[in-house]
Homo-oligomer: A and B are copies of this chain.
Amino acid sequence: MANPIYLGVVGVGGVGNAFLEQLGKLPNAPQIGLLARSSQSLLAPTPAYSPCIPATNWSDAAATPSLIKASILSPDEIAAYLAAAPGRAILVDNTSDLVLAQAYPVFLKNGVSVVTANKKGFSSDISLWNDIFASANQGNAYVHHQCTVGGTLPVLSTLRDLIATGDEITRIEGVLSGTLSLLLGEFMPAFGTPDVKWSSLVAHAREAGETEPDPRDDLNGLDFARKLTIIARVIGLEISRPDAFPVESLIPTELVSLQFSSEGIAQFMRQLPAYDDRMEIIKEDAREKGKILRYIGSIDVATKTIKVGLQHVEKNSPIANLKGSQIVSIHTKRYSATPLILQGGGGGGEITAMGLMADLLKVIEKLR
């Protein structure tokens, strides 16, 4: 009774491997028709798209003799292969690749649904966003990207439910970076007075694997701004690009010209302590006012004001009491007295893969 469903899984890094592991344990899992990484692709033989690819790690899958081994496939080639499958197909994009994201419209127009945590397709130029959703309509396909924002927190689905049922979002504020949540939470806890220098906290977090390999990718606020862009677009604001609104970088201006290399990272980490006084002054200012310092994104719908940066919050607010969690606080016409709050651990490969899987299960339910 169920239509056969074929997956094209692109990207087998941390998220991709966790996804494949979860897929392997799923009852009635859909078949994998295509598995691709940056240098190589595996395909189930046409025209039957059978035998399919086992849901396991890359090297085990690659050892299956009946599969076709190909070099790198272009997004268009992947889309053509999946669209020709003898059933409905779904692209699972585990990369953060803009080029693949730019091809989503090709997949969707040809009836291939898209499930992804890749923010690029939804936070780049607004024309790509519009093209993606118009193509999904045209191809009668689905695009689910819940975990582009807030890990597995149901942020986007909750916003879509609120809007679909006629509520009006008035204001959203949130902490959309687990790393910045952790750093600010340690730099200025809501209660207690630890006094650790900013640069030491950054160094510690980096050593513990709590930052990106290059911590500047967290500190510049751009990833955070991409997530806020996606939220803003989901609630109907036409944000042209993720740099179309003010984003406060925590990288000292004197250090922005350092190279994006391991030598550049090392120089950055060496020189950061020289700017600790600046962060102390900002913290002292908050303390004098009886407030707590946090790195926050906010959207005020009426004035269309969007910004990302350091802000003062009340000591006993949920945002002040975060310790590494992400949080999104949604104020609406119906939720006017107290906001709707979603809060949780955020990212990590296993958790992101779980969000992808939840999206995948929803698309499968619609396609079957």
Contact = CB atoms under 8 A, between A and B. Distances in A.
Contact of A338 (B152, B345, B354): B345
A191 interface: yes
Count this chain's copies in the assembly: 2
A335 B326 CA distance: 12
Contacts of A249: none
Interface string A141-152: 000000000001
Interface in A82-134: none
Contacts of A343: 318, 340-343
Nearest to A335: B345
Contact of A323 (B26, B335, B338): B338
Contact of A321 (B158, B318, B324): B318
Interface residues of A, number: 43
Contacts of A164: 357-358, 361
Interface in A316-333: 316, 318, 321, 323-325
B342 A341 contact: yes
A354 B316 contact: no
Given A316-B190, A350-B334, A365-B366, A165 B22 contact: yes
Contacts of A366: 365-366
A353 B165 CA distance: 9
Interface in A163-188: 164-167
